[in-house]
Amino acid sequence: MIYRVWLFIITSTIYLQAQSTYSGFFQNWTALPVSGESRLLFQRNQIRFNVGLKQVPFRLYASFDIKGEQVAPRYTEEIIRESYLEILYSGLEVRIGKQYVVWGNADAVFVNDVVNPLDMRYFLIQNFDDIRIGLPMVKPSIYWKGWSLEGIWILRFEPGKVAEKGSPWQSPRNDSINVGFPVHIQWEEPVLPDQKIKNSEVGLRLSGMILGTDFSIQILNSYQDQPLNSLDSVILVQEDPEVDTVFVSGEMWMSRHYRRSPWVGLNFSRPLRSLVLRGELGYYQNYWFNVSPGLLGIDGLSSISPEPHPSDYLKMMLGIDVTGPFGMRASLQYIHSEIVDFVSGLEMENRLERLATLLLSGYYLEGDGDFSLLVLVDQLNKSGMIRTSTGYRLGEKIRLDGGWDIFWGNASSRFGQYDRNDYLYFKITYSF
């Protein structure tokens, strides 16, 4: 249906001689593991087509994506990334439709970029504009003397995406635990909130410049991207009653629901000579954390509730960007997360999380070539990731890219869980 609508709009616009613009690319992307295994880790053919149609005071924009995965698991992808109508009148603007809203500017991590859910089915290896998931929303904005007030009303909740079972990017999840006897866990499908007005999500953002500093404050009342686990029931089975040894096993049913968590965020960035100092602070009131399944209350084995645990949760980032000669840029970030009301037995085992990132980038061959080095280090868990990449522009439309990602750390850490997935990648992109 939506495609017919777009076909009608494009035809009408051409007839009405509205101003139109387009862009896009075709990309082939192949990733090979460096572990010596003779398999493809990732291969994707992707066609992107962006079209903008303008007839003052209206503007239509759509971005279409056709992705073909060559390596299992092959996910069903949505073709429309963004599709919205924008109405502009002087200092007022309303954008209606599926869109992205970016509230955070951190490199490689999402601190205050909290509006759109994330597609983490390939962890961080996708292009960054493929990681955010578009949301249907209404976004009115008012602009006045350099200040802007932006509201968002998200009509339908969309969860974040994680890798399916069998994917090399799946986070390890226990399907069984041992609490003195084996217990198998049955994970139920997550239950999405009903599509009702009361379940919609809302946010507000005020931004402007004060004394040369870009500044914004934002609030959001939304659901968390990932479902929270609740223990529904436990069945204990005693087998072989006729023999002397009693063998006990169990089945545990875990229901999964999405929960709301109000959030307030603050951003700033300020140039200081050849540096830019920037920061983001996000504070969740009653963010929900999963309890570790092994510590759920079965027959008094644990004193904590089998329900998700609410706690205020703080995330902050401080970063410095340095611009040097020959297009060199260095960016250093420190990210601190803290569960304010921490209790033991949560899936997140530490109250604190500290992450440091370094991004170095630059150009060569008069801008035809570029390179970057991205390092992410989880300081407490001693794990990390290094991404090295280089690209070369072959003429005006073709670009070649290559590089490798290396993960390290123990298997339960954020990056170490993908230690086996170190890979080399090659991309060829035709842009238009």
Q: Which is nearer to another protein, 276 or 358 (CB)?
A: 276
102 binds another protein (CB under 8 A): yes
Q: How many CA atoms lie within 13 A of 306 on its CB side?
A: 18
- Segment near another protein (CB under 8 A), from 162-170, 272-280, 304-312, 337-345? 272-280
What is the Cα–Cα distance from 285 to 262, expressed in whole angstroms? 6
Per rule CB under 8 A, count of chain residues that contact another protein: 52
CB closer to another protein out of 1 and 272 = 272
| CB-based contact 411:172 (threshold 8 Å) | yes
Residues 6+ apart with CB under 8 A from 300: none
Contact 236, 248 (CB under 8 A): yes
55, 269, 302, 379: which one binds another protein (CB under 8 A): 269
- Choosing from 50, 255, 302, 379, the residue that interacts with another protein (CB under 8 A) is 50
What does DSSP say about strands 80-89 and 92-99: parallel, antiparallel, or unpaired?
antiparallel
Distance CA 93, CA 142 (A): 7
Cα 317 from chain centroid (whole Å) = 17
Question: Angle at CA 82, nearest 5°, toward 163 and 17?
Answer: 155
Binding-site member from 3, 128, 247, 426 for another protein (CB under 8 A): 128
| 335, 346 Cβ separation under 8 angstroms | no
Q: Minimum CB separation from another protein for residue 83, in Å?
A: 15
Residue 268 or 342: the one with the smaller Cβ distance to another protein is: 268
Write the DSSP assignment of 307-325 as a string of letters: SPEEEEEEEEEEEEEEE-G
Report if residue 25 touches another protein, rule: CB under 8 A. Answer: yes
Spatial distance between the Cα atoms of 305 and 297, rounded to a whole number of angstroms:
6
What is the residue type of 211? L
DSSP assigned state of 395:
T
In the window 190-209, what residues touch another protein (CB under 8 A)?
207
Among 6, 26, 75, 143, binds another protein (CB under 8 A): 143
Site for another protein in 214-243 (CB under 8 A): 214
Q: How far is the CB of 45 from another protein (least distance, A)?
A: 17
Q: What element of type H or E holds 272?
A: strand 260-272
Does 132 interact with another protein (rule: CB under 8 A)? Answer: yes
Q: From the list 189, 194, 242, 366, which residue makes contact with another protein (rule: CB under 8 A)?
A: 366
C-alpha closest to that of 81 among 19, 129, 9, 150 = 129
First vs last Cα of the chain: how many Å apart? Answer: 27
Instruction: Report if residue 278 touches another protein, rule: CB under 8 A.
Output: yes
The CA angle 232-235-236, to the nearest 5 degrees, is 145
Site string for another protein, 369-408 (x = CB under 8 A): ------------------------x--xx-x---------
Judged by beta carbon, residue 150 or residue 405, the one nearer another protein is: 150
**Whose structure tokens read 């990132």?**
357
The one segment of 64-72, 141-149, 156-164, 283-291 that binds another protein by CB under 8 A: 141-149
- Residue 223 Cβ vs another protein, minimum distance, rounded to whole Å: 22
Binding map of another protein across residues 62-101, x = CB under 8 A, - = no contact:
------------------------x----x-x------x-
Q: Nearer to another protein by C-beta: 74 or 397?
A: 397
Contact 237, 276 (CB under 8 A): no
The distance of closest approach from Cβ of residue 266 to another protein in the complex, given in angstroms and rounded to an integer, is 15
Among 36, 76, 146, 165, binds another protein (CB under 8 A): 146
Q: Give residues 306-365 in contact with another protein (rule: CB under 8 A).
A: 321-323, 325-327, 363
Structure tokens at 11: 């035809």
Q: Which is nearer to another protein, 68 or 91 (CB)?
A: 91
147 CB-contact burial (10 Å; exposed 0-12 / middle 13-18 / buried 19+): middle
Using CB under 8 A as the criterion, which residues of the chain lie in contact with another protein when the complex forms? Answer: 21-23, 25, 50, 52, 54, 59, 61, 86, 91, 93, 100, 102, 105, 127-129, 132, 141, 143, 146, 148, 207, 212, 214, 269-276, 278, 321-323, 325-327, 363, 366-368, 393, 396-397, 399, 429, 431-432
